[in-house]
Amino acid sequence: MRPFEYARAGEASEAVSLGGRFIAGGTNLLDLMKLQVETPDKLVDITRLPMRDIEATDDGGLRIGALVTNSDLAADKRIRDDYPVLSRALLAGASGQLRNKATTGGNLLQRTRCGYFYETSQPCNKREPGSGCGAIGGFNRIHAILGTSDKCIATHPSDMAVAMQALEASVETLKADGSTRTIPLIDFHRLPGDTPEIETVLEKGELITAVRLPKSLGGTQIYRKVRDRASYAFALVSVAAIVKMKGGEIEWARLAFGGLAHKPWRDTAVEDVLKGQAPSRALFDKAADALLAEAKGQGENDFKIPLARRTLVSVLAEATQGA
């Protein structure tokens, strides 16, 4: 065991002033520490901070405290009624026990489940920059087909973040200097590029305090997760879809995807294909063409390309059924 310092914060301002890694539910960080993938010198416990409320906002949306657990968020009546895609995504993730501990802020900061990242004897640019990517040319069945680089092909594991991407959520933070900012979720996670070890736009010591959801626009909301087993498995492909119909045509659609990229993936060009069109299999295939135009398999994960197509087509057919 590697020794580390532990501190408990009573206020958010104290937490960012203490320095160190923040810990709340610990459902990811503690695993990484046990394997010595991460070896922080100091942990700052933020579980006593007043961030466990889900509050209505003036614009008709919701403000979700960073420490709201996945279980409480999924069960909230406002989420189930107005943002069902989020509730379904949360319930598709992990297990009941983990959802009882995992927090909203921590879920956004989950690190990849790539086996090369977790195995410290193997090369991984995310864990040790410059060491190489073992997954390229290695075992890469669960890996990304979109937005990759020659440095990393890992995927982001969150279900919750995929639904929040479709809902156009934003992230509130508190910086170490006491200033605050609000970051659109679409800009929050980074693609790997040449620096896969930098996964978000957060600065050192910056704390997530809440996530904001805009006013619900209704529509048919679906979360479809394709995985190797029925529970406690990460997505091979997932789709969060919100589709609004009008007069037999798709008025607008918002689509986000998991299991395909280094971040929760949203490509508005896919949505533009659908806007103002009558639903049909040909149209859905055209949307899938837009999604997968730059998809690149790595051998063992080549199957994800046709799987993503079939999943998207199926979700769109369900969302426009009866139009």
Pull the structure tokens for residue 24.
């709340």
Q: Report the chain (323 residues): mean pLDDT per 10 consecutive residues.
A: 94 96 97 96 98 98 98 98 98 96 98 98 98 98 98 98 98 97 98 98 97 96 96 96 97 98 98 98 98 98 98 98 75
- Torsion region of 12: left, alpha or beta (phi above 0 gives left; psi -120 to 50 gives alpha): alpha
Residue 303: DSSP 8-state: T
Q: Which of 164, 217, 205, 155 is nearest to 188 (CA)?
A: 164
pTM for the whole structure: 0.97
For every residue of 271-286, which 3-state class applies, written as one string?
A: HHHHCCCCCCHHHHHH
CB-based contact 256:266 (threshold 8 Å): yes
Residue 262: DSSP 8-state: S
Collect contacts of 273-279 with beta carbons under 8 A, ≥24 apart: 274/243, 274/250, 274/316, 275/250, 275/251, 276/249, 276/250, 276/251, 277/249, 277/250, 278/248, 278/249, 278/250, 278/323, 279/249, 279/250, 279/316, 279/317, 279/320, 279/323
Provide the pLDDT for residue 1.
78
5 forms beta bridges with 42
Provide the pLDDT for residue 231.
87
Pull the structure tokens for residue 184.
């659109």
Q: Which amino acid is at 203?
A: E
Query: Within 10 Å of residue 56's Cβ, how many Cβ atoms?
Result: 11
CB-based contact 209:12 (threshold 8 Å): yes
CB-based contact 42:23 (threshold 8 Å): no
